[in-house]
Homo-oligomer: A and B are copies of this chain.
Amino acid sequence: MFARCLIVALLVVATAAAEDVPPDDVGRSLTLPERTDHWVWLDEPLFRHAMLFDGDSGEVLGTVDQLGSLTGRHPHVSRQRGETYVMETFYARGHRGERRDFITIYDSRTLQVIGEVEIPPRTADVGHGLWLGAVLDDERFFVVFNQEPANSVSVVDLESRRFVGEITTAGCALVYPAGPRRFGMLCGNGTALLVELDEEGREKRQATSEPFFDVVTDPVTEKGVRDGDRWLFASFEGYLHAVDFSGDTPKPEAPWSLFTDAQRADDWRVGGLQHIALHRPTGRLFSVVHQGGKGTHKDAGSEIWVYDLKRRERIQVIEPPSLLGVFLRRITGIDPDSWSAWLLETLIPSPGAHSVVVTRDEKPLLFVRHRETGAAGVFDARSGEFLRYLEETGLGGAAMVVP
């Protein structure tokens, strides 16, 4: 019977002469190229994975899976360890049976799974996927926000690859890294919480700030951006708060308005999903804005306003491209140069964008993304010039991470 295999081969394959294309090697898998500053991970909740794009070429470099939650829990990266982490939830029978949660550890270069750490099966599952987990500053500990619905934080030691313990965090949510052994949280009473760990990753102390916002009348969104020891949070009504986590207790700073009175009268409003981004070297804040009433704080933005943080003023306006057009063009398979493609992109009104992230380097790229389609585009973050689309990003998703 094994001879039959040879016969199969005989039927279709003749001897290869020297001048022909040589047979390919089989069984090869690529590794990632050298990391550049222009990479970005894009979550895709329907395909249940995150894809790594090169912002310069627009090409995909690789994928990690992410199963078991409502929407993506995006990858987290330790550059020092050369590892990438994904929080995952598995059920014994797909969507049923016993639940188990893990931190899955990937080699950042090969994207092979090289380890896992089991954690309590209460990892928070939140639509926006942001700040549900974090690698702390010296990349020794990984913290996971739990919501069951009682809140707590699980700590994982990345060096020994083991679960250290769980810290109860009174009415506070999310994890904002603020040092090698400290992270911040936002609380339901309008305060910020600082949690400090000891060298073993166990709770050392907690400290609560003065209340600095009103949860009902003008809450800050959870989509904060880090500025060194400080975290910046925008409020629903467009005030930028900062909290300094470097001291013994979190220190809120006086907020300032992202809108002039005239802009506010015109109903300009912050909002979207990952709706603010910070480029620290130039002190520029990117903010997704739209015109709308209260309750529209998750709507897509029609514009991206760029602020000089020092001068506290708007210095630029960027208009997102029509991300729906490129999405429809790809899923319908219409030729990009065709008359139909042009009509499609022209006819369908631009849906705006929900998310922005910016790379950390001196020639930064700005990535923008639309939640319902997952479509994304790339801008030169300095000039505001539109560079390219990231094509076929999937069918949905808004979160982006610069690794």
Contact surface of A with B, Cβ cutoff 8 Å:
46-47, 65, 67-68, 88, 90, 92-96, 102, 104, 113, 116, 324, 328, 332-333, 340, 343-344, 347-348, 372, 395
Beyond contacts A65-B94, A90-B94, A344-B347: 6 other A-B pairs, Cβ-Cβ < 8 A, are A65-B95, A90-B92, A93-B104, A324-B332, A328-B328, A343-B347
Q: Which of B46, B90, B94 contacts A46 (CB 8 A)?
A: B46
B residues less than 8 Å from A333 (CB atoms): 372
A101 to chain B, nearest CB (A): 11
Between A and B, 14 residue pairs with Cβ closer than 8 Å are: A46-B46, A46-B47, A67-B94, A68-B94, A93-B102, A93-B116, A96-B113, A324-B332, A328-B328, A328-B332, A332-B348, A340-B348, A343-B347, A395-B395
Alpha-carbon distance between A96 and B106 when the two chains are bound, in angstroms: 13
Q: Top 6 closest A-B pairs, CB basis?
A: A67-B94, A65-B95, A90-B94, A46-B46, A90-B93, A395-B395
A403 to chain B, nearest CB (A): 21
A50 to chain B, nearest CB (A): 13
Alpha-carbon distance between A372 and B88 when the two chains are bound, in angstroms: 29
B residues less than 8 Å from A347 (CB atoms): 340, 343-344, 347
Alpha-carbon distance between A348 and B96 when the two chains are bound, in angstroms: 41
B residues less than 8 Å from A104 (CB atoms): 93
B residues less than 8 Å from A47 (CB atoms): 46
A345 to chain B, nearest CB (A): 12
Q: Which of B88, B93, B328 contacts A94 (CB 8 A)?
A: B88
B residues less than 8 Å from A116 (CB atoms): 93
Alpha-carbon distance between A102 and B92 when the two chains are bound, in angstroms: 12
Alpha-carbon distance between A116 and B372 when the two chains are bound, in angstroms: 36
B residues less than 8 Å from A344 (CB atoms): 347
B residues less than 8 Å from A372 (CB atoms): 333
A354 to chain B, nearest CB (A): 15
User: Is B46 within 8 A of A395, CB to CB?
Assistant: yes
Give the residue name and chain of the B residue nearest to A373 (CB). B331
Alpha-carbon distance between A347 and B338 when the two chains are bound, in angstroms: 13
B residues less than 8 Å from A113 (CB atoms): 96
B residues less than 8 Å from A93 (CB atoms): 88, 90, 102, 104, 116
B residues less than 8 Å from A88 (CB atoms): 93-94
A112 to chain B, nearest CB (A): 11
B residues less than 8 Å from A96 (CB atoms): 113
Q: Which of B95, B343, B395 contacts A67 (CB 8 A)?
A: B95
B residues less than 8 Å from A348 (CB atoms): 332, 340
Alpha-carbon distance between A65 and B95 when the two chains are bound, in angstroms: 8
B residues less than 8 Å from A95 (CB atoms): 65, 67
Alpha-carbon distance between A96 and B105 when the two chains are bound, in angstroms: 13
Alpha-carbon distance between A96 and B49 when the two chains are bound, in angstroms: 14
Alpha-carbon distance between A194 and B95 when the two chains are bound, in angstroms: 37
A300 to chain B, nearest CB (A): 12
Alpha-carbon distance between A68 and B113 when the two chains are bound, in angstroms: 19
B residues less than 8 Å from A332 (CB atoms): 324, 328, 348
Alpha-carbon distance between A359 and B328 when the two chains are bound, in angstroms: 34
Alpha-carbon distance between A402 and B372 when the two chains are bound, in angstroms: 32
B residues less than 8 Å from A68 (CB atoms): 94
Alpha-carbon distance between A46 and B46 when the two chains are bound, in angstroms: 7
Give the residue name and chain of the B residue nearest to A68 (CB). B94
Alpha-carbon distance between A395 and B67 when the two chains are bound, in angstroms: 19
Alpha-carbon distance between A46 and B343 when the two chains are bound, in angstroms: 29
